[in-house]
């Protein structure tokens, strides 16, 4: 890995924070790196408050959306809550539908089938709405580009309200309201909400008209925190507040569906990372392996016995997903080798029988071996469908735009996207994508970068230091887990490879009078550096290890170098 040590912060600001907050220079440095330079900003950071959430009516079209929903309720219309099949979409649908049902019964949900309908608003979903006499569809985490589909619904006298967070195209759909903070004409102060976050702003607005305060809506924040973590949106500003209080709900009063999931994994206190790696994949597995409806059903269930049945089914979907992504990853790696494509700037692989539900995960897995922009294709009906993943610093969405002559449909973000194309265009697309990336990518981006927050000494790591560090959570994009680096470490002589396949490294490092146990997952091949008897440097995060009731600080290694 290419180590990139972040520059030291402005000494004037760090000295000011040291004095005002009574913290040491390292903590002050961490704050300034995150753009926090005043006492008030530090107070807001360490003590998030719901009072700092923005007025939902600052969002363009919010007033119109609320009035249309109130009209539907007063005239007894049927409302269909429609959302994508991933974590953000299914949590959004669970959030809005369960909220509306607390005071209005004529509400149903619809999640498109990943394989039959594909991503986003679907003609089949609109036909379902017409057949079942729904006159209002509220679409969450999708719809901002569904121009033809919204027009199709209008022809059937079905209105749309769109709650999305993706980049709009040059034209907006002719919906009654389009709630999307990324609209150019939207003056909402925080632009990085996830789809579920936009859905929450809608229920906040609806609730305010019914005399409800934010305290009445706290129980929905577990869903919002899950979507924030899973959708990899910045954990800053309003997202940080929503994630902070959402985690409190998950850990103190989780919804029944979460209780059923957590009972299976026997985990008591969850961080945002746990939400991403425990709850997120299970919710996602339903849409990947079977149907997103299963996830929504679990998330809105209030009977613990029924929730346990749904959770067990979803756990099986998750096990099937793991097996499929492991097998397909091995097949894709073999394909790269067989085609002698190890030295390309991109990875583009295709096999018609690969499971469409896991190709995005496989793309991420391939980047672990070949660190470069990656697309994994499979057959989907009479088209090819792909998931794209990128490397840090490279915008794969823009690269795909450059290849649009060969693409039928695509959408997504800077680091993750999806697309479809005709099979006859596959080879031309593959060549064009390689050309676009080769001509535009900085070669250093093809080597994984480890961003190191700062250099410290082992004696700096004290229980007080770690207690303050924990208050920096929840971590995520925009507020990353601090990675520290220490030089001149020696191993005490008991280092060994551990795990069933001996792929992990467990060592005890020493510097002066201080020593700490370190664990390096997947770093067994670094034993020769750590245990050579010579000094080395390590990059790591600080966390806690619990063993037989005892809790101690340990260093989780990210990399070591001679």
CATH, residue 510: 2.40.50.460
What are the b/e assignments for 352-364, b being 16+ CB within 10 Å? eebbbbbbbbbbb
Q: Say yes or no: 17 and 129 in one domain.
A: no
Quick one: tokens of 23? Answer: 């913290």
Per-residue HEC secondary structure of 243-290 comes to HHHHHHHHHHCCCHHHHHHHHHHCCCCCCHHHHHHHHHHHHHHHHHHH
Number of domains the chain contains: 3
Note the pLDDT of residue 240: 96
- Which of 419, 446, 473 is the last residue in one of the domains? 446
Structural domain containing residue 424: 339-446
Average pLDDT value for residue range 210-229: 96
**Domain boundary residue among 388, 421, 446?**
446
| DSSP codes, 474-487 | SPBTTBPPP-EEEE
Residue 33 corresponds to which tokens in the numbers above?
Answer: 């790196």
CA distances from 14 to 5, 48, 223, 383 (A): 18, 21, 36, 56
Q: Looking at the domain assignment, is residue 547 inside a domain?
A: yes
Q: Which residue is associated with the tokens 């706290």? A: 218
Asked whether the predicted pLDDT for residue 118 surpasses 80, the reply is no
Do you know the residue count of the chain? 562
Same domain, 482 and 348: no
Q: Is the pLDDT of residue 218 over 90?
A: yes
In a domain, 216, yes or no: yes
pLDDT score for 187 = 96
Separation CA 220–CA 93 (nearest Å):
12
pLDDT of residue 42: 94
Asked if 302 and 195 sit in the same domain, the reply is yes
CB-based contact 346:373 (threshold 8 Å): yes
Within a domain: residue 161? yes
Question: Distance between CA 49 and CA 44 in Å, rounded?
Answer: 7
Instruction: Examine the pLDDT at 545 and tell me if it is beyond 90.
Output: no
The predicted-structure confidence for 195-206, as pLDDT tens digits, reads as follows: 999 999 999 999
Statement to judge: residues 438 and 455 lie in one domain: no
Residue 84's closest CA among 283, 287, 362?
A: 287
Residues 395 and 495 in one domain: no
pLDDT of residue 288 exceeding 90, the answer is no
List the CATH number of the domain containing 141. 3.90.1640.30
Do 279 and 404 lie in one domain? The reply is no
Closest CA to 280 of 261, 263, 297: 261
Examine residue 319 and state whether it is found in any structural domain, yes or no. no
pLDDT in tens, 335-356: 999 999 999 999 999 999 999 9
Q: What is the CATH number of the domain that holds 417?
A: 3.10.310.30
- Average pLDDT of 245-259? 94
Helix axes 359-369, 304-338, angle to 10 degrees: 50
- Where is the domain boundary, 385, 420, 446? 446
* Exposure letters 84-117 (e unless 16+ CB within 10 A, then b): bbbbbbbbbbbbbbbbbbeeeebbebbbbbbeeb
* Neighbour count for residue 454 (Cβ, 10 Å): 19
pLDDT band at 550 (very low <50, low <70, confident <90, very high): confident
Distance in angstroms (rounded) separating the CA atoms of residues 15 and 23? 10
Joined together, the tokens standing for residue 91 give 């949590």
Average pLDDT over the chain reads 94
User: Do residues 459 and 439 both lie within one domain?
Assistant: no
- Asked whether residue 495 is domain-assigned, the answer is yes
Q: Which of 160, 101, 97 is nearest to 126 (CA)?
A: 160
Give dist(CA 450, CA 457) in Å, integer.
19
Main-chain dihedrals φ then ψ at residue 554, nearest 5 degrees: -140, 165
């Amino acid at each position: 890995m290419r180590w990139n040590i972040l520059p030291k912060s402005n000494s004037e600001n760090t000295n000011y924070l040291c004095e005002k907050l009574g913290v040491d220079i390292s903590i002050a440095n961490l704050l300034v790196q995150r753009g926090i330079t005043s006492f008030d900003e530090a107070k807001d950071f360490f003590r998030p408050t719901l009072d700092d959430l923005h007025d939902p009516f600052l969002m363009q079209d919010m007033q119109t959306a609320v009035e249309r929903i109130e009209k539907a309720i007063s005239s007894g219309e049927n409302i269909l809550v429609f959302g994508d099949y991933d974590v953000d979409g299914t949590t959004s649908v669970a959030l809005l539908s369960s909220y509306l049902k607390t005071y209005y019964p004529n509400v149903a949900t619809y999640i498109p089938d990943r394989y039959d309908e594909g991503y986003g608003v679907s003609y089949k979903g609109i036909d379902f709405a017409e057949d079942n006499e729904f006159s209002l569809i509220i679409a969450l985490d999708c719809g901002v580009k569904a121009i033809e589909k919204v027009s199709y619904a209008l022809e059937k006298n079905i209105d749309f309200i769109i709650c999305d967070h993706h980049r709009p195209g040059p034209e907006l759909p002719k919906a009654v309201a389009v709630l999307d903070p990324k609209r150019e004409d939207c003056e909402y102060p925080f632009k990085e909400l996830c789809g579920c976050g936009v859905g929450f702003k809608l229920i906040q607005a609806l609730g305010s008209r019914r005399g409800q305060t934010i305290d009445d809506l706290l129980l929905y924040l577990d869903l919002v925190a899950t979507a924030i973590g899973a959708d990899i949106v910045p954990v800053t500003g309003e997202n940080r507040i929503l994630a902070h209080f959402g985690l409190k709900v998950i850990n103190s009063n989780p919804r029944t569906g979460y209780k059923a999931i957590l009972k299976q994994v026997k985990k008591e206190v969850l961080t945002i990372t746990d939400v991403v790696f425990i709850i997120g994949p299970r919710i996602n597995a339903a849409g990947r392996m079977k149907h997103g409806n299963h996830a929504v059903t679990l998330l809105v269930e209030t009977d613990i016995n029924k929730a346990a049945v749904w959770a067990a089914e979803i756990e099986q979907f998750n096990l099937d997903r793991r097996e499929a992504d492991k097998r397909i990853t091995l097949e894709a790696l073999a394909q790269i080798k067989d085609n002698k494509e190890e030295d390309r700037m991109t990875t583009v692989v295709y096999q018609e029988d690969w499971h469409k539900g896991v190709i995005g995960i496989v793309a991420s897995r391939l980047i672990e071996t070949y660190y470069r922009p990656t697309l994994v294709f499979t057959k989907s009906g009479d088209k090819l469908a792909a998931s794209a993943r990128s490397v840090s610093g490279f915008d794969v969405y823009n690269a795909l735009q450059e290849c649009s002559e060969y693409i039928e449909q695509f959408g997504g973000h800077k680091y993750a996207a999806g697309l479809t194309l005709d099979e006859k265009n596959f080879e031309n697309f593959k060549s064009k994508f390689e050309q676009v990336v080769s001509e535009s990518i900085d070669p250093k981006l093809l080597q994984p970068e480890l961003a190191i927050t700062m250099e410290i000494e082992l004696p700096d790591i004290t229980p007080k230091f770690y207690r303050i560090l924990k208050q920096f959570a929840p971590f995520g994009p925009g507020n990353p887990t601090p990675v520290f680096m220490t030089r001149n470490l020696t191993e005490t002589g008991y280092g060994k490879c551990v795990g069933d396949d001996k792929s992990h490294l467990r060592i005890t490092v020493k510097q002066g009078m201080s020593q700490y146990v370190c664990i390096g997952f997947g770093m067994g091949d670094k034993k020769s550096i750590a245990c050579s008897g010579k000094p080395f440097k390590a990059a790591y995060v600080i966390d806690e290890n619990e063993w037989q009731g005892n809790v101690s600080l340990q260093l989780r290694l990210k990399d070591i170098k001679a």
